[in-house]
Structure 1
Amino acid sequence: MSSSNNLEPSSRKKRLFPLSLLCLTLGAFAIGMTEFIIMGLLPNVADDLHVTIPQAGQLITSYALGVAVGAPILTVLTHRIPQKKLLTLLMFIFIIGNALSMIAPVYSLLIAARVMTAFAHGTFLGVGSLIATRLVQPDKRAGAVSVVLAGLTIANIIGVPFGTFIGQQLGWRASFGAITILGIISLIGIVRFIPLLQQEKISDLGQQFRSLINPQVLLVLLTGALGCGSLFAVFTYITPMLETITGFAEHSVTWILVLFGFGVTIGNMVGGKLADWKLMPSLMANFALLVVILALLTVTLHNPYTAIITVFCWGVAAFGIMPGIQIRIMNLTREAPLLAATSSHSALNLGNAGGAYLGGLAITFTGLPSVPWLAALLAALALIGAIVSYQTGKRSSTSTSLPQSA
């Protein structure tokens, strides 16, 4: 009898843990839809709320700034809340923000609702990643993070096109209604299936800040921001590049971006596996591959077939770095990882905004064909950051082990 009782918790763990990870993935999927769906609905929103397209575009900018600013602020305010309760609270904020977006009668309220939703974005992904690493064996941590982040990538393949279709057929408010429903399903799953994990001693804010401002952590945050900058420098302007340089029709670009989304999802999952195998070597190799692919894109864009192949490979390489960056930050901040883990999403969103801005400058001064070169340069700087981080970590490990060997 006692032996069967001992086996039952173990078998329950094996059965429930994958489902609990799926609840986190669904939450990330809903977050991904919220962030990107507005891009396809800007004309509808602008027409309904009687604002210009540039004003409607501020809904994207305000969301990105909300993620960048909100993640550290919300983490500071909620760092003493147990992780499962915090995750539940964040998803509740996300649901309310999208529900307000759905019914917002005026532009200013929609902006406020978007910012409110964005506040939950980075903290949810940071806390969700931390919980995911505790639901699996230590050698599967990066893989677990990649499963959670897969929600963001799958949202670009399925969620955004489907949500945009709903918005175009039933009105843009229906899209936010669909996201609200997804949030409610995710919340129910989190409450029901995420186990109550025993937390170690809660670190104080001073310890959290010290972990965040560790030079090694800041270097990894900068490296991740540069990697995201290289992605968005091209991704923001990929449609005009494919239409103007390659010669694709507008409807063809949509399917190429879906293919890119498949590449992103594959890269995210493979990147997680590689990071579990050899974290820093795989991360450096991934950045090096990204530099080569972006440099090749300047040539392959001129041929439709090579352009499609390169765009797919670029998606694989670009998102292969994400799980490794997150795990590297967690490894460097084991004593107090929460603020650093959530701030990583702030850094990545700042990288997104910076890459898009620099890409626009490149187009203004040197034209569309120069954008992949700019992205390759940003990826090369990220590669240098990863190499420096790796070498510094090796020297630190060597100096720590010397007294013991002596």
Structure 2
Amino acid sequence: MHPSTDGPTLLSPARIRLALLALALGGFGIGATEFVAMGLLPNLAADLLPSLNAVDPDQANAQAGWLISAYALGVVVGAPTIAASAARWPRKALLLVLLTAFTLGTIASALLPSFGLVLVARFVAALPHGAYFGIASLVAADLMGPGKRARGVAFVLSGLTISNVIGVPAITWLGQVYGWRIAYFAVAVIFAATFLAVILLVPFQAGDPQATMREELKAFGRLQVWFALSVGAIGFGGLFAVYTYVAPLVTEITKLPAATVPLVLVVIGVGMTVGNLVGGALADKSVRRTIYGFFGVMIVALIGLALSAQFLVGLLIGVFLIGAAAAALSPAIQSRLMDVAQGSQSIAAATNHSALNIGNALGAYLGGVAISAGFGYLAPVWIGVGLSVLGVILATASFAIDRSRRSQGIHLPYGTQSISTFGQ
């Protein structure tokens, strides 16, 4: 039996697994709502920007990429705001509120008629994203028990990665055949199903009665928190610079039919699923080595893709390794952030997803700028290389501070010194 509780009752291992599956189903829905737009980018451009698309499809695709950036920015805004203000809430109740917001926001995305209104809907639909993953990660970590924190985080994230194997390609195909609006209605159904699963399967967990917004926000006064956030925000731009424009990469560079795009998305999703499981296990052993190792894989894979994307084999190997490396980094960066944030656990768990979605917005934006400037659909891949290299540099600086503190005999826990006191 495991010490996790539902009221006074001990939970069996089977009940714990069911609760984790319910949380992962939410990740499955989030993966679908976030990543379906990548595969349907030309469809969104044709329907929402018909005049521009008729004159210049490349410009229309680049502008449609704003929908992806809007979602990412919604995550950035919503994650710390919701996590800090609702840290006292019972975790299950907060998850249900967030799932309700997901469902309604996704339905609005499917119904609204114009590009501008859909842009706003994507921003609003993204607000619960980081808070959901953050709170679900805390619930999962408690359910898994000591020494298995990163694996608990990885289990929740497995819903997102499996979504990229099954949900995103299937819903992308649905959107290509029946229209992108039907695709978003399908995503809304997934969120509604998750709502029911959480009600039935996730045990009660109290919030932190001592938490206040002021206490949670103290995390942002710690230098190492900013380094950890920056590693995710900059480094993950490498993945999203490629993922955002994967549809035109497949059709314009590799010269494959549009029907091939869902299959390429399956390959990315398989890579993400494998990487998430490996990264979660390795991060429990060494966060530092996991971050360095998989940033190395990411950089090599991006360069390989840029040089060989015109060949089917080069495309598939490249996107598989990029997806695997990015997904392996996620639980490692999450664990690092929770370490350095100390007592601000709710906001630390949630803001990791803000950081990753800054990477999403940054990669999508810079890739769109490069395409609009006429550099072609391989330009975002090279931008991804540069962003990943910057991620390594930031991680190196952060770990150097750790070594410096240890060499000075400072053995304070991570995150106990603020920006103002470092270096004094």
Q: What are structure 2's unaligned runs of at least 5 residues?
A: 1-7, 54-59, 413-424
Q: Give 2:189's aligned residue.
A: 181
Distance change >3 Å, CA 215–CA 187, structure 1 → 2:
same
2: CA distance, partners of 1:62 / 1:237: 15
2: CA distance, partners of 1:50 / 1:367: 20
Give 1 or 2: higher helix fraction. Answer: 1
2: CA distance, partners of 1:47 / 1:282: 41
Q: Which amino acid is 1:27 matched to?
A: G
Q: Which amino acid is 2:236 matched to?
A: C
Equivalent residues in 2 for 1:127-166, closer than 5 Å: 127-166=135-174
TM-score under structure 1 length normalisation: 0.85
8 A contact 1:212–1:339 mirrored in 2: no
1: CA distance, partners of 2:302 / 2:66: 29
Give the drift of 1:366.
Answer: 5.0
Equivalent residues in 2 for 1:307-318, closer than 5 Å: 307-318=315-326
8 A contact 1:67–1:345 mirrored in 2: yes
1: CA distance, partners of 2:244 / 2:64: 17
Q: Give 2:4's aligned residue.
A: none
Distance change >3 Å, CA 97–CA 148, structure 1 → 2:
same
Secondary structure of the structure 1 residue equivalent to 2:342: coil
Distance change >3 Å, CA 206–CA 107, structure 1 → 2:
same
More deviation, 122-131/32-41: 32-41
8 A contact 1:212–1:340 mirrored in 2: no
Equivalent residues in 2 for 1:201-240, closer than 5 Å: 201-240=209-248
Q: Give 2:106's aligned residue.
A: 98
Distance change >3 Å, CA 211–CA 188, structure 1 → 2:
same
1: CA distance, partners of 2:311 / 2:73: 37
More deviation, 126-135/299-308: 299-308
1: CA distance, partners of 2:121 / 2:411: 52
Say which of 355, 364, 370 aligns to 1:356.
364
1: CA distance, partners of 2:119 / 2:364: 21
Say which of 254, 266, 274 aligns to 1:258.
266
TM-score under structure 2 length normalisation: 0.82
Say which of 345, 357, 370 aligns to 1:337.
345
Identity of aligned pairs, percent? 38
Matched, 1:118 2:106: no
Residue-pair matches, total: 394
8 A contact 2:133–2:350 mirrored in 1: yes
Give the drift of 1:145.
Answer: 0.9
Matched, 1:372 2:371: no
Give the drift of 1:376.
Answer: 1.9
Matched, 1:400 2:400: no
Q: Which amino acid is 1:338 matched to?
A: S
Q: Which amino acid is 1:132 matched to?
A: A
8 A contact 1:70–1:119 mirrored in 2: yes
Q: Give 1:5's aligned residue.
A: none
2: CA distance, partners of 1:310 / 1:331: 32
Distance change >3 Å, CA 347–CA 47, structure 1 → 2:
same
2: CA distance, partners of 1:80 / 1:200: 5
Q: Give 2:34's aligned residue.
A: 35
Q: Which amino acid is 2:268 matched to?
A: F
Distance change >3 Å, CA 206–CA 98, structure 1 → 2:
same
More deviation, 130-139/292-301: 292-301
Q: Give 2:392's aligned residue.
A: 383
Give the drift of 1:280.
Answer: 1.4
Q: Which amino acid is 1:396 matched to?
A: R
Q: Which amino acid is 1:147 matched to?
A: F
Give the drift of 1:20.
Answer: 0.7
2: CA distance, partners of 1:365 / 1:56: 16
Q: Which amino acid is 2:384 matched to?
A: A
Aligned-residue CA RMSD in angstroms? Answer: 3.0
2: CA distance, partners of 1:292 / 1:216: 27
Q: Give 1:4's aligned residue.
A: none
Q: Which amino acid is 1:22 matched to?
A: L
Say which of 274, 285, 294 aligns to 2:282.
274
Query: Alpha-carbon deviations, 1:297-323, whole Å to 9, x = none?
Result: 333335433442233222211221011
Q: What are structure 1's unaligned runs of at least 5 residues?
A: 1-7
Q: Give 2:56's aligned residue.
A: none
Q: Which amino acid is 2:123 matched to?
A: V
